[in-house]
Amino acid sequence: MNHFKQLITVIEQTHRLLQAQAAGAVNQALTIRNWLIGYYIVEFEQKGNERATYGQQLLNKIAATVKINGFSSTNLKLFRQFYLAYPQISQTVSDQLKTLFYIESQPIAISQTVSDQLQALLMAKQNSNASGKTSVIAVPPEKIISRLSFSHLTELIKIEDPLKRSFYEIECIKGTWGVRQLKRQINSMYFERSGLSGQPAKLARLVQEKTTPQTPVDIIKNIYAFEFLNISLKPVVEESDLETALLDNLQEFIIELGNGFCFEARQKRILIGENYYFIDLVFYHRILKCHVLIELKIGAFEHGDIGQLNTYLNYFKQEISEQQDNPPVGILLVAEKDHALVKYATAGMDENLFVQKYLIRLPDKEQLEDHIKKELKKLQ
């Protein structure tokens, strides 16, 4: 077996071993797996030296060969960066592996060769790291593994200064921050502000008072954990909180615009045929004398989205609108990452009528797009 095949084999076997143990300790097992895979890649690619010889080409080849969810070249690069940023946790990884390999002193039914290989690799690395680099203020390695998820660590490895990274490790563990809160504090330059503050302890108390600890749901609900456990990450799992927050804000934003908008319903249930459908937001425009239906789509725009909104408009025109009402109009808002798209739906309304009568009373497309973009950035 050549060296590359050995690399692929040990990556796949390590994944299977630690995935099997993840039911009780998903984040620890995931972190250990990712550190080990980063180690394998560095040892294979660089023979322990921090100087790339194969680089992206090797990561692409591994990603194409290993058929495991979440093993993209981008994630493999993260695993590699994680190992290089945290070589000091090798002893803790070794200790954790002993626990994972045995349940009540009984060996888990895995290849003994793999077990021995992992232990030998770690022992070799521990010896080579005996006088290696450590953090200026070393957070106990077991705390890093047990108290920080890999999602936290992907943010921390971006920090090159060991002292600065240790500062955020300590504050994150102390305050039980979620990933979003960690990112927010890094972006707010909390470390730098603490250094400039005449009363850093007072600043720390203030920051901790203003932060919200992560919940058990936050700990489990991250994309790395879902990929690791091979669970399909349905859009509603990750999108529901984002969609709710955007709708909350959008509802308030449109009412504040004035211009005749009157809130009527949220998640308006309608029956078409034998199926129920839900419209995100329904307003009545007292100046235009028509209903305005708003649909928020999380993800990429699809032409079927406009078709669905036009179906809702036709339903309102036939079943809801009064005789004196003008035809309803729809607004489709598409929020995808940092981008936003606004499209109007008119269900066959005359274009000239829409432009001359409706458009001057409705929110400007650019105004809505800018608003959605800003809110997306706040919620990230």
Q: Is the pLDDT of residue 100 over 60?
A: no
* Between 373 and 259, the higher pLDDT residue: 373
Q: What one-letter code names the amino acid at 111? A: S
* Digit-coded pLDDT (tens) for 252-292: 777 766 567 888 888 899 988 878 899 999 989 887 888 98
* Residues 22, 33: Cα–Cα separation, whole Å: 10
**Location of structure tokens 């129920």:** 276
* Digit-coded pLDDT (tens) for 314-371: 999 899 988 888 888 888 887 765 566 777 777 676 665 555 555 555 666 676 667 6
Q: Is the pLDDT of residue 115 over 80?
A: no
Q: Phi/psi zone of residue 260: left (φ > 0), alpha (ψ -120 to 50 degrees), beta?
A: left
Cβ–Cβ under 8 Å, residues 30 and 150: yes
User: 20: pLDDT confidence band, cut at 50, 70 and 90?
Assistant: low
Cβ–Cβ under 8 Å, residues 87 and 50: no
Domains and CATH numbers, the chain: 3-228 (no CATH), 237-379 (3.40.1350.10)
The pLDDT value given to residue 249: 74
Q: What percent of the chain lies above the pLDDT cut of 70? A: 59
Q: Is the pLDDT of residue 212 over 80?
A: no
DSSP structure string for 127-179: HHTTTS---SSPPPHHHHHHHS-HHHHHHHTT---HHHHHHHHHHHHHHTB-H
* Between 362 and 180, the higher pLDDT residue: 180
Q: What one-letter code names the amino acid at 74? A: T
Q: Is the pLDDT of residue 146 over 50?
A: yes
Q: Is the pLDDT of residue 116 over 70?
A: no
Query: Can you read off the two tokens belonging to residue 207?
Result: 């920051």
Window from 110-114, 297-301, 363-367, 369-373 with minimum mean pLDDT: 110-114
pTM for the predicted model, two decimal places: 0.49
* Residues 21, 24: Cα–Cα separation, whole Å: 7
Spatial CA neighbour of 31 closest among 72, 69, 86, 106: 86
Helix (H, G, I), strand (E, B) or coil at 107: strand
Q: What percent of the chain lies above the pLDDT cut of 90? A: 7
* Between 20 and 378, the higher pLDDT residue: 378
